[in-house]
Structure 1
Amino acid sequence: MRHNYRNWPILLVLGIFSTPLLIMLVFQVVDSFTLKQPGSLIPSGFTLEHFRFLWEELDTGRAGIWRVTLNTFIFATTTATVVTAIALTAGYALSRLNFPARGFFLAGLIVLHAFPTVTLIIAIFLILQILGLYDTLIGVIIVKTALELPFGIWIMKGFYDTVPWEIEMAGVQDGASRLRVWWQLVLPQVQPGLMAILIFSFLSGWSEFILPLVLAPGSDAQVLATYMQALILDDTKADFDLFKAVGLFYALPVVVIYVIFQNKLMNIYGGGSKG
């Protein structure tokens, strides 16, 4: 009780700053399911008309909502899988192996992670055109994966640093190969980091907007973020209640993932205090 009493000023400040966001979310949910008279804040009736995008093809210049949702799922899932797979092995190498230019690679991870995506967009655009991957979903996936890798590798290296050397040495002395030791002894120790990187990479891919908009402007490679942008491209005749309903549909998987995996998401800050 005394500990909770000491923390109440912090909780009060956080509550004050969170209240406007909570109010906006409540209005978004209410407006998505109700009808209102112009200029009124009080709903006049219940409706599912704003969710017509689920069964009707909207005139947005984009593919239908289910095609766009599938593109978004493929984009986020593939990005998360590749980032996690590479980060698992690269993080181990940087944590455990002494090889030439190891310090250079560690510094490079920090530099690459510090670069904003927007500063690289022109160079990425030209590279994708040369490779023939411009305006394709696979091209955007490759770019997003490359940009997420420095963060993932650095975090996994931190988790590997917390695993005692004695665990590996005991396995090697018992006759196990280095690969078997990594798979059976080390990997279970860094499982929280693995799950955190997987979830964060998926959420980052799910919410990506700039890369699909610039690097895949065609209708076949659109994602939910660009689909929403198309809904209000002409704001003189935009249906904002429809926009709120699409936003609710877009945010629902993220909310579900957060509710289920919130404890594992916090684990990303528990690994890697060593450099």
Structure 2
Amino acid sequence: MTGHARIWHLVAILGIFSLPLIIMYVFQVVESVAAPAPGSLIPGELDLENWRFLWGSIDSGRPSIWRVTLNTFLFASITSFLVCALSLTAGYALSRLNLPARPLFLGGLIILHAFPTVTLIIAIFIILQMMGLYDTLLGIILVKAALELPFGIWIMKGFYDTVPWEIEMAGVQDGASRLRVWWELVLPQIKPGLSALLIISFLAAWSEFVLPLVLAPGSGAQVLATYMNAVINDDTNQDFGLFKAVGMFYSLPVILIYLLFQKQLMNIYGGGTKG
């Protein structure tokens, strides 16, 4: 059996196992625009009533979907920017500088990353209240960025480890400052890892549900995840067609990002793990 034949056999097997999931997604798309009659699986006529949230509020007590989408975009964008900016500098220090207790610090990063977020909710809730950041978008941005930092620092440290030290030494010997050497010689070498971390941090914040639900329950800081939760938990007017349409709207940016940046996401495995 040739290599191409083996690949196609593997694709066929994976396709069979993925078929139920694909069918469910197809039904979600179809039923969001053409809901079948009760007790039937056959779609009815085209009906965009489920997508009415795009051009108006669902009810008077719920914010506009565009305002919620803007909140979600700001939450994900600023969180990913903070994670990348801080991981760049901290990862460089851990990779290049002989810091005291460096192995213990690296071990602590792994423990923090593996620590369940939900166990910290009460402490985070108290701290945000004391700082006056409870029920604000800024509060959940800072919390999410702090929780994503251990992963980001460890990943960037691994990418810095793959950059030969001789490159920096040559730049310093030619008279360049340490900052210029980092900017012009080192940073281009780790751009694939930085791009992957930026995308992963953005997606992690975009899909976050627990932190906005608990730490920002008001409508002013509502994001799409909590918006969907409010739609499905509306006891006075449960509309599953509307819920499916909002779910499709919520997932479209994630699907597009995965389709457009597959190669960049795979680069997250390119960094070294030297201690």
TM range (shorter): over 0.9
| Alignment partner, residue 90 of structure 1 | 90
Find out whether 1:148 has 2:166 as its counterpart: no
| Alignment partner, residue 204 of structure 1 | 204
Where 2:45 maps in the other structure, the secondary structure is: strand
Deviates more, 1:187-196 or 1:12-21: 12-21
Following superposition, the deviation at residue 166 of structure 1 comes to: 1.1
Query: Deviations 1:83-137 (Å, cap 9, x if unpaired)?
Result: 0000111101101111222222211111100101111111111111111111111
| Alignment partner, residue 241 of structure 1 | 241
Find out whether 1:194 has 2:213 as its counterpart: no
Amino acid across the alignment from 2:18: S
| Alignment partner, residue 256 of structure 1 | 256
Answer yes or no: is the 8 Å Cα contact 1:61–1:219 preserved in 2: no
How many residue pairs are counted as aligned between the two chains?
A: 275
Answer yes or no: is the 8 Å Cα contact 1:50–1:242 preserved in 2: yes
Q: Residues 235 and 8 of structure 1: is their aligned pair in 2 closer, same or farther, counting only changes over 3 Å?
A: farther
Amino acid across the alignment from 2:47: T
| Alignment partner, residue 35 of structure 1 | 35
Percent identity between matched residues is 72
Query: Deviations 1:241-263 (Å, cap 9, x if unpaired)?
Result: 11111111111111111111111
Query: Deviations 1:165-186 (Å, cap 9, x if unpaired)?
Result: 1111111111111111100000
Find out whether 1:174 has 2:174 as its counterpart: yes
Taking the aligned partners of 1:97 and 1:7, their CA distance within structure 2 comes to 45
Where 2:35 maps in the other structure, the secondary structure is: strand
Amino acid across the alignment from 2:56: E
Amino acid across the alignment from 1:30: V
Deviates more, 1:90-99 or 1:29-38: 29-38
Deviates more, 1:9-18 or 1:70-79: 9-18
| Alignment partner, residue 129 of structure 1 | 129
Deviates more, 1:151-160 or 1:61-70: 61-70
**Please, which runs of 5 or more residues in structure 2 have no aligned partner?**
none
Answer yes or no: is the 8 Å Cα contact 1:84–1:194 preserved in 2: yes
Q: Which TM-score applies when normalising by structure 1? A: 0.96
Answer yes or no: is the 8 Å Cα contact 1:60–1:231 preserved in 2: no
**Please, which runs of 5 or more residues in structure 1 have no aligned partner?**
none
Query: Deviations 1:52-102 (Å, cap 9, x if unpaired)?
Result: 001121138432111100100000000000100001111011011112222
Q: Residues 60 and 150 of structure 1: is their aligned pair in 2 closer, same or farther, counting only changes over 3 Å?
A: farther
Where 2:273 maps in the other structure, the secondary structure is: coil
Taking the aligned partners of 1:249 and 1:234, their CA distance within structure 2 comes to 19
Query: Deviations 1:141-186 (Å, cap 9, x if unpaired)?
Result: 0000000000001000011111111111111111111111100000
Q: Which TM-score applies when normalising by structure 2? A: 0.96
Amino acid across the alignment from 1:46: L
Taking the aligned partners of 2:6 and 2:25, their CA distance within structure 1 comes to 30
Cα RMSD for the two superposed structures: 1.5
Query: Deviations 1:194-234 (Å, cap 9, x if unpaired)?
Result: 10010000011110100000000011010000000001103
| Alignment partner, residue 17 of structure 2 | 17
| Alignment partner, residue 79 of structure 2 | 79
Where 1:36 maps in the other structure, the secondary structure is: coil
